[in-house]
Structure 1
Amino acid sequence: MKKIVFALWLGLLAACGAVQAADAGPSVTDGRGRVITLPRVPQRIVTLLPSLTESVCALDQCQRLVGVDRYSNAPAFVRGLPQVGGGLDPSIEAIVALKPDVVLLAVSSRASARLEALGIPVVALEPKTHVDVRRVLGQIATLLGLPTSSADRLWREIDAGVLAAAQSLPERAHGMRVYFEVSRGPYAAGESSFIGETLTRLGARNVVPASLGPFPRLNPEFVVRADPDVIMIGNRSMQSMVPYPGWQSMRAMKTGNVCVFGPEISDVVVRPGPRMAEAARAMAECLVEKSAKRQPGKAE
């Protein structure tokens, strides 16, 4: 009899464990290396990084967003949502008022500790490479309670778009040496960044080596010495090219081989997310235009 009772007790414990497992929410390991397990699939989400906002919407879950940072402006739906300030240092009060189930933000955001102290779950995700983008899409899909196949399908579409942009380039555009500025400083997109990886896939050569990191701040003299064939400016605050001391001597400046992307395209090219194929097309168009000045068979 005791054996039967013991067996029933074990079975009850197992059943309780199964129920608890079934009731548990999604779990991911975020960019800080922390395992975050939510009590349930989130229905109210605040995003504090434009690429994360776009990723949620690209997975067809825009309706779960209840607030965004001031720079999230795509797709059009999010422009009508409450803004909670900057991504790095947002208004904590504004976020709390929205009663989110989870806040998605950058690893570098200073808001994490304060939000967690108030009992608001935080997931830090900050993609910097193509591999990161693919992983983050999968993590967001998991948080949203979606099958991983939805993120895989989205990544395949992005990757195919980047490949198509690369295949559209004529031979003369290959091998051009490019300097890409993401922010005044100058802060550059290095070889190891998602922008640098896209340029490599387009057949361009980045003058900022991977050894300097994804987005290093450079001495302007570094760029002068590198003397790139093409300069791309993806900083949306720079509507006209404001040269640094000595830059007028560079061949790209002398020949007009400078692509200053407008505000909308700048947003696209500097965000590691669903619109990377569109970014690749914009960079490819720049390379095609500037390579038209090259003499056939002559490397610059």
Structure 2
Amino acid sequence: MRYVSRLIAVWLLAMASVQAAECPRIVSQSPYLTMAIEWLGQGECIVGVSRYDSFKPKLPRTGGVMDPDAKAIAALKPDVVIGSDMADEAAFAAAVPKGAKAARMGGFNSMFEVESMLEDIALLIQSSEGGKVASFRRGWFTRAKNTGARGERVLLLTACSGTPYSYGRKHVLGDLFYAAGFNVVEEDVRVRAVRAGEAVPDLAALIARTQPDIVFTFNRAADTECKVVLEEKPGVKIIPLDGDNFLNPGHRMIDGLDEVTRIMRAQRTQ
């Protein structure tokens, strides 16, 4: 009996070792990184997330995207710490415990960056589902070429009240919509804040300046607000999209392109 118990104990220890090897303890310092890790099949390996993360509400918080909490991270004894390149390099490095692997990831400047981010994370966390990245690369590109867009001038907005932000061609969303056949009117801009005191103080000025055919917004709840704000702009279509498919760079952008394709095809039949 003692021999059997010993065998069971050894087997359990071996299984724990295998599980640990397959499931490194991961700290994710940004929601879009959490989404990527989940998609790559290692969501259960995440032991801590940033204060902004709504995907893992029960996990310990490890500071912000740009101000990681070194003490909180160290307490979790992570094997891997993944952050955004929006975090200062030195501040991020200082928050990583000795012995842990770490990397800052991009993803907000171009679709190439999104592909690289997914690929790099897959390698870093030793995901067995890294092959998904190649499928994502083919998938988004094929869809982008078949949205039905015909060079329409488009403005990409977060919302129409408060402080709206406009995304230009130097942002991943501008890059995505440009690849999808649209003429993104904010050519030389990454992100523009539309508010008093800025170069463009309000939406009326932005519309007058850019002359879009379509205003895509990434907040369906703001659809009514946008129609009120832009009702005096004849010829400008307002199309609300599901922001969850666009605002976190990653695999859900394919769903976003599918949504755009459905809308554009419906527009052609009207």
The two structures have a TM-score, normalised by structure 1, of: 0.65
Secondary structure at 1:216's aligned position in 2?
strand
Gaps of 5+ in 2: 1-20, 195-199
Separation in structure 2 between the aligned mates of residue 79 and residue 50 of structure 1, nearest angstrom:
11
Tell me how far 1:272 sits from its aligned partner.
1.3
Task: Tell me which moved more, 86-95 or 273-282.
Answer: 86-95
CA contact (8 A) 1:46 1:100 kept: yes
Q: 1:291 to 1:207 in 2, by over 3 A?
A: farther
Map 1:171-210 onto structure 2 (within 5 A).
173-182=149-158, 185-209=163-187
Q: 1:230 to 1:271 in 2, by over 3 A?
A: same
Tell me how far 1:201 sits from its aligned partner.
2.9
Separation in structure 2 between the aligned mates of residue 242 and residue 89 of structure 1, nearest angstrom:
34
Which residue number corresponds to residue 207 of structure 2? 223
Q: 1:291 to 1:205 in 2, by over 3 A?
A: farther
Tell me how far 1:94 sits from its aligned partner.
3.4
Find out whether 1:159 has 2:146 as its counterpart. Answer: no
Find out whether 1:284 has 2:261 as its counterpart. Answer: yes
Tell me how far 1:59 sits from its aligned partner.
1.9
Separation in structure 2 between the aligned mates of residue 121 and residue 244 of structure 1, nearest angstrom:
48
Map 1:74-89 onto structure 2 (within 5 A).
78-84=56-62, 86-89=64-67
Amino acid at match of 1:101: D
Secondary structure at 1:105's aligned position in 2?
strand
Which residue number corresponds to residue 243 of structure 2? 266
CA contact (8 A) 2:147 2:260 kept: no
CA contact (8 A) 2:146 2:180 kept: no
Map 1:1-300 onto structure 2 (within 5 A).
43-73=24-54, 78-84=56-62, 86-109=64-87, 112-116=92-96, 119=98, 122-128=102-108, 129-146=110-127, 150-151=129-130, 153-166=131-144, 169-170=147-148, 173-182=149-158, 185-209=163-187, 211-212=188-189, 214-218=190-194, 219=200, 220=202, 221-235=205-219, 239-243=222-226, 247-251=230-234, 257-261=237-241, 265-292=242-269
| Structure label with greater radius of gyration | 1
Separation in structure 2 between the aligned mates of residue 272 and residue 106 of structure 1, nearest angstrom:
12
CA contact (8 A) 1:45 1:104 kept: yes
Secondary structure at 2:122's aligned position in 1?
helix
Percent identity of paired positions between Structure 1 and Structure 2:
24
Tell me how far 1:127 sits from its aligned partner.
1.1
CA contact (8 A) 2:25 2:79 kept: yes
Secondary structure at 2:36's aligned position in 1?
helix
Gaps of 5+ in 1: 1-39, 294-300
Aligned length: 236
